Amino acid sequence: MSARIIDGKALAQRVREDVRERAVALKAKGIVPGLTVVLVGENPASQVYVRNKAAACEQAGMRSRVIGLGADTPEEELLDLIGTLNDDPQVHGILVQLPLPGHIDTGLVIETISAAKDVDGFHISNAGLLMTGRPLFRPCTPYGIMKMLESEDIPLRGAEAVIVGASNIVGKPMAMLLLAAGATVTLCNSKTQDLGAQTRRADVLVVATGRPGIVNGSMIKPGSVVIDVGINRLPEGGLVGDVDFKSAHAVAGAITPVPGGVGPMTIAMLLVNTIEAAERGAAS
Ligand code: NAP
């Protein structure tokens, strides 16, 4: 057997087109949806991510603004800036690119962003709303994965879903979304004993650890759906996921590639969250 490839790039394109149409409708009411991204320091990977997010926003007909601050910017200055953005009615979404320099308290920064503009979905209020089944903003990566599963008509009710990796931005919110969809969820972390025994039970397997090759074909249930979130840069250039694609592809029923799988969907869902924020603003 050989797995069907879930094309995240093509689906992301469709999602972005839908956002563009919604942006046109808002503009007809005199509202230009706007995302402001704050980048502190000069981390090269962060610079690329920020550029891509800003470009995607512009292509979708939304206003994007990138505010770059020096790596030694005092925490107080960043918090003041977020306060100003919170009060600006032209700013519908605020995103502070992570990671932040070590002298800045990341948790405090996220809590300072207005929960109503927290398009990353990382604010503690948004995490709580998600956990209690009343989501406002869903974190972009797991939200994008849910869209991929939906577009592939993957049944989730009663399915065994196993997630490898339990971060606040991917694994934990993924668990909440799959649970809400009726799956039976297992969340694994670095202390999990016999990872293969867990992953082999999965009808839907999501892998998000940042450890290339942590899951291979021998750890996958035949015919299952494998979602590879990992983005790992090879020393010789190029990207690989956390799943050994070749061996997994031979066993799984469907699999996401890296690149071209979850990554494009993450950006697309940031646009969805921003347009939703602007639409909510327009309705209030
Ligand atoms: P993270 O914050 O470093 O969390 C990694 C998680 O993996 C932790 O929960 C950790 O367990 C777990 N883990 C590490 N080694 C493990 C092992 N041997 N067995 C089982 N679990 C293990 O990472 P993240 O931010 O979630 O990102 C994970 C990966 O996804 C990275 O490659 C990142 O670049 C990528 N990513 C991609 C996208 C996208 O759009 N495609 C978005 C976000 C992240 P403990 O909790 O025990 O430490």
| Residue spans per domain, the chain | 30-114, 139-263
Lateral strand order in the sheet of 4-5: 4-5, 254-255, 225-228, 204-207, 160-164, 184-188
Cα–Cα distance measured from residue 96 to residue 106, given in angstroms and rounded to the nearest whole number:
9
Same topology between domain 30-114 and domain 139-263 = yes
Angle between helices 8-28 and 44-59 (to 10 degrees): 50
Instruction: Indicate whether 60 pLDDT > 80.
Output: yes
Q: 106, 190, 214, 216: which to mutate for ligand 1, most atoms within 8 A of CB?
A: 190
Q: Whose CA is nearest to atom 34 of ligand 1?
A: 231
Tell me: cis bond preceding 259? Omega within 30 of 0 counts. Answer: yes
- Let me know the angle formed at the C-alpha of 146 by 192 and 98, rounded to the nearest 5 degrees: 70
Beta carbon of 170 within 6 Å of any ligand 1 atom:
yes
- 30-114 maps to which CATH number? 3.40.50.10860
Instruction: Indicate whether 278 pLDDT > 80.
Output: yes
**Mean of pLDDT over the chain:** 97
Beta carbon of 243 within 6 Å of any ligand 1 atom:
no
In the chain, pLDDT over 90 holds for what percent of residues? 97
Active site residues: 53, 97, 120
Instruction: Indicate whether 252 pLDDT > 90.
Output: yes
Q: Whose CA is nearest to atom 16 of ligand 1?
A: 190
Confidence of residue 57 (pLDDT cuts 50, 70, 90): very high
Query: What is the rounded average pLDDT of the residues 43-71?
Result: 96
Instruction: Indicate whether 284 pLDDT > 90.
Output: no
Cα–Cα distance measured from residue 83 to residue 202, given in angstroms and rounded to the nearest whole number:
44
Beta carbon of 265 within 6 Å of any ligand 1 atom:
no
Q: Whose CA is nearest to atom 15 of ligand 1?
A: 190
- Tell me, in angstroms, the distance from the centre of ligand 1 to residue 76's CA: 30
- 139-263 maps to which CATH number? 3.40.50.720
Index of the ligand 1 atom closest to the CA of residue 242: 32
Residue 213's pLDDT is what? 97
Q: 145, 198, 231: which to mutate for ligand 1, most atoms within 8 A of CB?
A: 231
- Tell me, in angstroms, the distance from the centre of ligand 1 to residue 189's CA: 9
Give the model confidence (pLDDT) of 65-93 as tens digits. Answer: 999 999 999 999 999 999 999 999 999 99
Residue 69's pLDDT is what? 98
- Let me know the angle formed at the C-alpha of 124 by 122 and 129, rounded to the nearest 5 degrees: 95
Instruction: Indicate whether 108 pLDDT > 90.
Output: yes
Residue 281's pLDDT is what? 84
Confidence of residue 239 (pLDDT cuts 50, 70, 90): very high
Instruction: Indicate whether 282 pLDDT > 90.
Output: no
CB burial of residue 152 (10 Å; 0-12, 13-18, 19+): middle
Confidence of residue 283 (pLDDT cuts 50, 70, 90): confident
Query: What is the rounded average pLDDT of the residues 166-187?
Result: 98
Say whether pTM exceeds 0.95.
Answer: yes
